[in-house]
Structures are given as C-alpha cells and as structure tokens.
Chain A
Amino acid sequence: KQEVTQIPAALSVPEGENLVLNCSFTDSAIYNLQWFRQDPGKGLTSLLLIQSSQREQTSGRLNASLDKSSGRSTLYIAASQPGDSATYLCAVPPGANNLFFGTGTRLTVIP
C-alpha cells in the first residue's frame, strides 16, 4: 500500500526566505504527483502536477521536482510571502480513480 509522508509537519520562516517542502512515497510506480495548498477551513487549490516522465514543473515562484527512483518530491518556494502561509499537501494516485495524500506541511511566513 502506498504511503505518503511529508516533512516537516510545520515550518515557520521569515518573509523573503526561500524554502523547501519535502514529500516521500513508498511505491515509485506512480503516474504523477500533485501539490496542493489548503488555507484554513477552505478547500484545496491545485498548485502543480508533475507527470511521471517529468523531473520538474514551475509556476511563478513555485518549483516542484520529482525523483521517482528515490520516491521523493520537493516543492521549492522562492522569496516567501505572508500570503504563502497555508498547509501544503502532496498526493499521488495509486490507481485510476483516487489519490493518496500526505498529512501536509503547515507553513507560516512571518512578516
């Protein structure tokens, strides 16, 4: 059974810092990996999706990398802002119709 782990569980950084969030998965036979953010009490917002054939994806200040062989993905956030404060979740599909989610990293960017 696929297990998805995110480290750290919580992270606080001062505004302007670059930071890296980590996601690891036990079964490397994945189709893709998706990163989401969740604001308190709200739904999920999709940030990036990396196909299994890709090494990385970029969107604005976000860059996600994928290393299937080692079962790892990282989400890099450049020049962090207070508006980046949220819980970040990674998810992988174990099959055709669902996702396995990590427990998330709660990020706080301090002004």
Chain B
Amino acid sequence: SQTIHQWPATLVQPVGSPLSLECTVEGTSNPNLYWYRQAAGRGLQLLFYSVGIGQISSEVPQNLSASRPQDRQFILSSKKLLLSDSGFYLCAWSDLYPTTDTQYFGPGTRLTVL
C-alpha cells in the first residue's frame, strides 16, 4: 500500500532563517506530487506541483521553492523565511492522471515563523 511521509511534524523558525521541508512517498512509482499551504483561517492553497523528477510548476509567486531530486521525494525550501510563511504545509500525491484520480495527503508540517 502507498504511504506518504512528511517531516518535521512541527517547526518553529525565526524570520530570515532557511527552510527545508521533506515529503516522501512509498509504494507507488511516478506519482504527481503537490505542496499545499493552509494559512490560519483560510482554505488550502496549491503552491507547487510536479509531474516528474526535476519538473516543478509554481502556482503562486512567493519566496518559497520546490525541488524533486528523486521520483518519490519532494522538498519545499526557502532561503529566508517571512512571517507570512507561517502555516500548515501539506504534501500530496496522485497517480499520473489527476483529473480522474484521488489526491492523498501527508500528515502535514506546522510551521511557525517568529
């Protein structure tokens, strides 16, 4: 069966510090991978998605970046965190044709920027 992992589970970082959140998927090959953010009191917002190694698409302009160094690994990064980067970050995966298939979500990382 497929599983999706995210770490760390929680993170408190000062403004201006770097960020690296990791997501890995097991039990599937060539998944589509996604990073979402849920800010306090708001719905989920898609940040990045990837259809393959090294292929990253960004949905919103921001100071975050994403990378996919391996087929089942998706990393969310920032060189300098802003207060507005605080939120709950969710990684998700889906099969090759997401228009007809389910997205499965990881447990999330709660990031607090002070």
Contact = CB atoms under 8 A, between A and B. Distances in A.
A43 B43 contact: no
A4 to B, nearest CB: 8
Interface in A78-111: 89, 91, 93, 95-99, 101-104
Interface in B84-108: 88, 90, 92, 98-108
B101 to A, nearest CB: 8
A72 B107 CA distance: 29
Contact of B99 (A31, A102, A103): A31
A75 interface: no
A33 B44 CA distance: 15
B100 A31 contact: yes
A60 to B, nearest CB: 17
The size class of the interface chain A forms with chain B is 20 to 34
B99 A34 contact: no
Contacts of A97: 32, 34, 49, 51, 57, 98
Interface of B: 6, 32, 34, 42-44, 46, 49, 51, 57, 59, 88, 90, 92, 98-108, 110
Interface of A: 4, 31-32, 34, 36, 41-46, 49, 51, 89, 91, 93, 95-99, 101-104
Identify the 6 closest CB pairs spanning chains A and B, nearest first. A44-B105, A101-B44, A31-B99, A98-B46, A43-B108, A43-B107
